[in-house]
Amino acid sequence: MNAFTRITRLACALALAGALPAHVLAQAHDAHAGHGAHAMPPTEAPKPDTTPSATGTQVPKTPIPPITDADRAAAASPGHGHEHGRTVFAFLMVDRLERWNDGAGGEAWGVKGWIGSDEHRLWLRSEGEREGGKLADADLEVLYGRPVARWWDLQAGVRRTFGPGPSRTAAAFGIAGIAPGKFDIEATGYLDGDGRVSARAEAAYTLLLTNRLVLEPRIEANWQARDDRARGLGAGMSSIEGGLRLR
């Protein structure tokens, strides 16, 4: 009787187990297993990467110190603006080269150039005119130039004048450079052996029209301290010339 009862209960249990859904049995098994084991901690979601490579910003490890006057002085270029050591360079510009056939015809020229370094330069300047095959007026200057300020050179040398009347030699002292506004300035004073004082000033401005075309307005003035009858020059402003060149 007891054996029959046990067999009957076992058969009922098997039948009941077969009738229950599988997920119910799995939950019951997990709950039973949890009584003998420690619960696992929940898994945390990964935090976003905030490194400089992920966020696109660079955070310095140490703060950048402010720029001081000593830093600016160390970064500034000494001298007069553009230095190349003692390398020798040369420059030549023909400002004017003309010929005309009106009347007796004539020619005119204006040339300047230098050779040397940024600290020492030998300048050559010449301009003049010929009319009817004869020299009307001309001069030749040989000057030594040395920088005295940023973009400015002090010049000293001699000038020889030719033309109608006696030729004369004069000492020359002047300055040349770039004024504010990018005006090219040349101003020179002269003193000849007879004590005659004269001066010449020239200003030019370069307008870049294209990469190859340059428009250059220019004005030149000559001044005499006293009359020079032998050369036909009066005291004061002896001549003023202006021009507009496309090159």
pLDDT on residue 204: 93
Q: What is the pLDDT of residues 184-194, one digit of tens each?
A: 999 999 999 88
Average pLDDT over residues 48-63: 58
Average pLDDT over residues 92-97: 88
Higher pLDDT, 143 or 47: 143
Average pLDDT over residues 221-237: 86
Average pLDDT over residues 137-154: 93
Q: Does position 120 have pLDDT exceeding 50, yes or no?
A: yes
Average pLDDT over residues 3-22: 55
Average pLDDT across the chain, whole number: 79
Average pLDDT over residues 34-59: 52
SS3 for the chain is CHHHHHHHHHHHHHHHHHHCCHHHHHHHHHHHHHCCCCCCCCCCCCCCCCCHHHHCCCCCCCCCCCCCHHHHHHHCCCCCCCCCCCCCEEEEEEEEEEEECCCCCEEEEEEEEEEECCCCEEEEEEEEEEECCEEEEEEEEEEEEEEEECCEEEEEEEEEEECCCCCEEEEEEEEEEEECCCEEEEEEEEEECCCCEEEEEEEEECEECCCCCEEEEEEEEEEECCCEHHHCECCEEEEEEEEEEEC
Q: Does position 48 have pLDDT exceeding 70, yes or no?
A: no
pLDDT on residue 81: 47
Q: Does position 29 have pLDDT exceeding 70, yes or no?
A: no
pLDDT on residue 34: 46
pLDDT on residue 7: 58
Q: Does position 210 have pLDDT exceeding 60, yes or no?
A: yes
